[in-house]
Amino acid sequence: MRIYNLGSINWDQCYRVEHFVRPGETLMSSAYALHLGGKGANQSAAAAKAGGQVTHIGCVASADSALSKLQELGVETGGIYQQDQHATGHALIQIDDQGENAIILHAGANRALQQDWIVSQLQSAEKQDWLLMQNETNLLHESATLARQKGMQVAFNPAPMDRDLTLSLLDKLDLLIVNQIEAQDLTGASDLDTAIERMQQQAPDLALLITLGAKGACYCQGNQRHSVNAFKVDAVDTTAAGDTFIGYFLASLTAGLAVSDALPRASAAAALAVTRAGAIPSIPSRQEVDDFLARQP
C-alpha cells in the first residue's frame, strides 16, 4: 500500500532579530537558518522515515532543491509539479530576543495545483492506497472525490482548521485526524467526549484520530475505541509532533499493522520528535523508534 500525500512544501526562512521590523525600517538579523517545512512535507518525511512508500503530490518552482531534500528522506517526488508562475511556498519568520515570532506565509505554488496533474498522479494508485491531505493546498474536494472513485482510502488533517471546508469534506473521508483543539473547534464542543459524540453523529462511518499532546492520542470508529498514552520524555520543542504522529501512524497501517499497534509506534515517534529541535530534523528514523520501544519497561 502506498501513501499519496497531497501536501504543502515550504521553505521556512528564520531570521533572529532584536525586535520585529517596524514600518519603514531596515533591520539587520543576527542569525539566519533555512529549513524545509510545510505540514505536507513534514508528513511525507515522517511517513517515509517510518518505512512507508510515499508519493508526495505538490507544486514548487522549477528545479527547487526541496525535491532533492525530499528524495534524500526517501519520498518519491515524481508527483511534485515544477512550474515558473509561482514561487515555492515559504515563510519569513522573525524571532525576537524574547523568543516570540512574527511570520509572513506565502502559499505560492502550494495553492496552484491543477486538476489534470492530480488526475495523472493518481492514475497508478491502487484500491486501498491512501490519499493523505492537509489544508495547505488547493483541490481538496476534487482530489478526495477522485481517490474515492478509485477505491482509495482518504485521510484528512484539517490544519489550519477551516470548519466549513472540513464539514463539507466529511462524506469523502475515511479518517479525520485532528488535535483536541481542532476537534472542539469543529464541533463547538467544550470537552473531548462531546466532540467525539457529535462527530460520530454527523459522520457515523468516519474513523477519528485525535492527538492529545502530552496526554497521548485516541482513535474511534463506531464502537471501537483505542487510546495510547504519550511516552514520558523531556520535551524540548513540540514542532511537528503531530506531523510525526500522522506519518508514522499511516505508514504503520500501510505496513499491515493493526490500529492498536500503529498507535504506540506513532506515539513513540512523536515523543522522540519532541525531544529535539526543529521540524523535519526532529523526526526519528524507524531504527530509533524500534530502539526507543525496546527500552520501554
Question: Catalytic site residues?
Answer: 243
For residue 280, the minimal CB distance to ligand ATP (Å) is 12
Task: Kindly state whether residue 293 participates in binding ligand ATP, applying the rule CB under 6 A.
Answer: no
215 is in an annotated binding site: yes
Binding mask 160-189 for ligand ATP (x = CB under 6 A): -------------------x----------
For residue 278, the minimal CB distance to ligand ATP (Å) is 12
Under 8 Å between Cβ of 4 and 55: yes
| Residue type (1 letter), 89 | G
For residue 246, the minimal CB distance to ligand ATP (Å) is 8
Name the residue nearer to ligand ATP (CB basis): 139 or 241. 241
Three cell numbers written together for 156: 484528512
Is the alpha carbon torsion for 235, 238, 239, 244 positive or negative? Answer: positive
Name the residue nearer to ligand ATP (CB basis): 17 or 235. 235
Three cell numbers written together for 177: 485526524
DSSP for 216-273?
-EEEEETTEEEEEPPPP---S--TTHHHHHHHHHHHHHHTT--HHHHHHHHHHHHHHH
* CA–CA separation, 68 and 1 (whole Å): 24
* Residues 233-272 close enough to bind ligand ATP by CB under 6 A: 233, 235, 238-243, 245, 267, 270-271
Q: Which residue is nearest to ligand ATP (CB)?
A: 242
For residue 242, the minimal CB distance to ligand ATP (Å) is 2
278 is in an annotated binding site: yes
* CA–CA separation, 255 and 262 (whole Å): 9
Separation in Å, CA 252 to CA 46, 176, 195, 296: 11, 17, 26, 19
Task: Kindly state whether residue 7 participates in binding ligand ATP, applying the rule CB under 6 A.
Answer: no
76 is in an annotated binding site: no
* CA–CA separation, 199 and 250 (whole Å): 21
Under 8 Å between Cβ of 208 and 198: no
Give the residue numbers of the binding site for K(+): 237, 239, 273, 276, 278, 282
Give the residue numbers of the binding site for ATP: 179, 211-216, 242-243
Report the interface residues with ligand ATP, using CB under 6 A: 179, 211-214, 216-217, 230-231, 233, 235, 238-243, 245, 267, 270-271, 274
Give the residue numbers of the binding site: 10-12, 38-42, 136, 179, 211-216, 237, 239, 242-243, 273, 276, 278, 282
